[in-house]
Chain A
């Protein structure tokens, strides 16, 4: 049974999910003090829990929470002398916060995410700071998600906030000349958060949903930029296939996945988001990866996959974001499109270059191509090499299974 208390609790939870980042971002913009902003946001949500059951859920929870947090910040700043001096500098406080309609509160989350993902911060700190300040995960939750001790994670967050202050990292959306590079840094953080949760079953799974949510926010805040849409499409298309990626703890390859269990709705949304991105005619690495994922997701069965197009997309991706892993994927696509020999030739070139030494998917891919070519003895040797390099149990089980089938 649902009691009124439950529905208020749900309203506060929903507001926490939807508004936390905006409240914190606004408070940082107003005070320049990250810790104060977080504390006051926390206080505002506590106040909501206490007063919404009595007064009802406000019509615009976000505006209510921002005002409550702002008032709390003013109270706290008034209490100490330095804060009082600071208050006088804050032009924004000259206005009565109660007068400000919600529509006029600028969305500060964009400034927040670009600051969290500033390249002067260590990468793990960017990830942690984004999850804490923008997504509202607790330090304990972030520590668990990254298998780190809580004090270590807390220290990482403290150091990052201190560096923002001490090094003068600006709280802003970067100007146009810096934007492509800085946006790439933001997208890399979001994609890492997505991938951290992708193959997991426990609470780390939540990271994937969190990454999709944050990327949706970014897409809304930067409607003119195609790459955030590309990343969102990529995430949705991956997510659509997640349930079929493993069976009994063993990896299932794309061609053997049960396509009837792929999430059609997510695929349709992913393809639509991708089409929206491609309409801008400014290709980028995430759009290309999403286009490849879309080729797979929309093929009715493995045999009708459009491999020539996938091979072309990988070639484009390799030019735009050179990586030996991309070259390896292209080799597979070329093998499927132009024949095993053409693919093997590319794999052998990669092996000779030494750029993927120690990477288990290099011998595993070679083994697969040799198997398809009917060269069982050579395939066996390559699978065995891959087995010694495979990093996870799921990878080893998959390779062992392939070996047995030879």
Chain B
């Protein structure tokens, strides 16, 4: 799917799918989860999804920062919280209320949380 193919006049949001990774379901389990299936079907009906992908667990993450010209590479996530970003979906919505509605339907809204970030256009 190409960028910006969504509905005219909408706002693009990035949904950061977060949880604490204590018992991460496999991709197969996710695909079999009726809540996730319903969510996927809803996204398709809305035609809202631009791109979506699941991320590898946070142990595989690398954080790069540059301070005073020096590149610092550290393992682990950027934000040191108990929840980590586990996936990213970019959606094109009429407004924030629609993005909230979509976020609330994702199974990770129940087990973790979804951070909604408007795309800086």
- Which residues of A pack against B, CB within 8 Å? 118, 120, 166-170, 174, 178
Chain A positions within 8 Å of B109 at CB level: none
- If A120-B96, A170-B97 are given as contacts, then 16 extra A-B residue pairs at C-beta distance below 8 Å, sorted by A number, are A120-B100, A166-B118, A166-B120, A167-B11, A167-B96, A167-B116, A167-B118, A168-B11, A168-B13, A168-B93, A168-B95, A168-B118, A170-B94, A170-B96, A174-B97, A178-B97
Most chain A CB within a 10 A radius of its CB, from B13, B94, B96: B96
CB distance from A184 to the nearest CB of B (A): 16
Residues B80-121 near A (CB distance < 8 A): 93-97, 99-100, 116, 118, 120
The docked-state distance in angstroms from the alpha carbon of A169 to that of B94 is: 10
What is the interface residue range for chain B against chain A? Answer: 10 to 19
CB distance from B60 to the nearest CB of A (A): 30
B84 to chain A, nearest CB (A): 23
Q: How far is the CB of B9 from chain A (nearest CB, A)?
A: 11
A170 to B95, CA, bound (A): 6
Q: Which residue of B lies closest to A164 (CB)?
A: B96
Complex CA–CA separation, A174 to B100 (angstroms): 13
Chain B's closest residue to A118 (CB) is B96
A178 and B94 CA atoms in complex are apart in Å by 16
Query: 21 A-B Cβ contacts within 8 A?
Result: A120-B96, A120-B100, A166-B118, A166-B120, A167-B96, A167-B116, A167-B118, A168-B11, A168-B13, A168-B93, A168-B96, A168-B99, A168-B118, A169-B95, A169-B97, A170-B94, A170-B95, A170-B96, A170-B97, A174-B97, A178-B97
Residue of B nearest to A168 (CB): B11
Tell me how far the C-beta of B114 lies from the nearest C-beta in chain A, rounded to whole angstroms: 13
A178 to B96, CA, bound (A): 13
CB distance from A220 to the nearest CB of B (A): 25
**Which residue of chain A has its CB nearest to the CB of B101?**
A178
Considering the complex of A and B, which 10 residue pairs feature the smallest CB-CB distances, nearest first? A168-B11, A170-B95, A168-B95, A168-B96, A169-B96, A167-B118, A167-B96, A166-B118, A170-B97, A120-B96
Interface centre among B97, B118, B120 (most CB of A within 10 A): B97
Residues from chain B with Cβ under 8 Å of A170 in the complex:
94-97
CA distance A167 to B121 in the complex (A): 11
Measured CB to CB, the nearest residue on chain A to B13 is A168
A112–chain B nearest beta-carbon distance, Å = 16
When C-beta atoms are compared, the residue in chain B nearest to A182 turns out to be B97
CA distance A127 to B33 in the complex (A): 41
Q: How far is the CA of A118 from the CA of B97 in the complex (A)?
A: 10
Q: Chain A nearest CB: distance from B17 CB in Å?
A: 18
A167 to B94, CA, bound (A): 11
Chain A nearest CB: distance from B100 CB in Å? 8
- Docked Cα-Cα span, A56 to B79, in Å, equals 62
Determine the chain A residues whose CB is within 8 A of the CB of B11 once the complex forms.
Answer: 167-168
> Smallest Cβ distance from B115 to chain A, in angstroms?
12
Q: Which of B32-47 contact A (CB under 8 A)?
A: none
- Complex Cα distance, B42 from A324, in Å, reads 39
A166 to B99, CA, bound (A): 13
Bound CA span A118–B100, Å: 12
Shortest Cβ distance from A165 into B: residue: B118
State A66–B39 Cα separation when bound (angstroms).
45
Residues of B close to A166: CB separation below 8 A? 118, 120
Task: With both chains docked as a complex, state the minimum distance between the C-beta of B92 and any C-beta of chain A, in angstroms.
Answer: 11
- Which residues of B sit under 8 angstroms from A174, Cβ to Cβ? 97
How far apart are the CA atoms of A290 and B33 in the complex, in Å? 45
> In the complex, which residue of chain B has the Cβ closest to the Cβ of A166?
B118
Closest-CB distance, A171 to chain B (whole angstroms)? 9
Residues of chain A lying within 8 A (CB to CB) of residue B96: 118, 120, 167-170
> CA of A178 to CA of B95 in the docked complex: distance in angstroms?
14
With the chains together, A118 CA to B93 CA distance in Å?
17
* Cα of A168 to Cα of B11 in the assembled complex, Å: 7
Please, how many angstroms separate the alpha-carbon atoms of A166 and B12 in the complex? 10
A167→B93 CA distance, assembly (Å): 11
A169 to B13, CA, bound (A): 12
Which residues of chain B are within 8 angstroms of A168 by Cβ–Cβ distance? 11, 13, 93, 95-96, 99, 118
Docked complex Cα distance between A118 and B96 (Å): 10
- Using CB atoms, name the residue of chain B closest to A120: B96
Residue of B nearest to A174 (CB): B97
Q: Can you name the residue of chain A whose Cβ is closest to the Cβ of B99?
A: A168
> Chain B's nearest CB lies how many Å from the CB of A14?
36
Q: When chains A and B are docked, how far (Å) is the Cα of A174 from the Cα of B101?
A: 12
Task: Name which residue of chain A comes closest to B117, CB basis.
Answer: A167
A125 to chain B, nearest CB (A): 15
Closest to B118 in A: A167
Contacts of A167 in B (CB 8 A): 11, 96, 116, 118
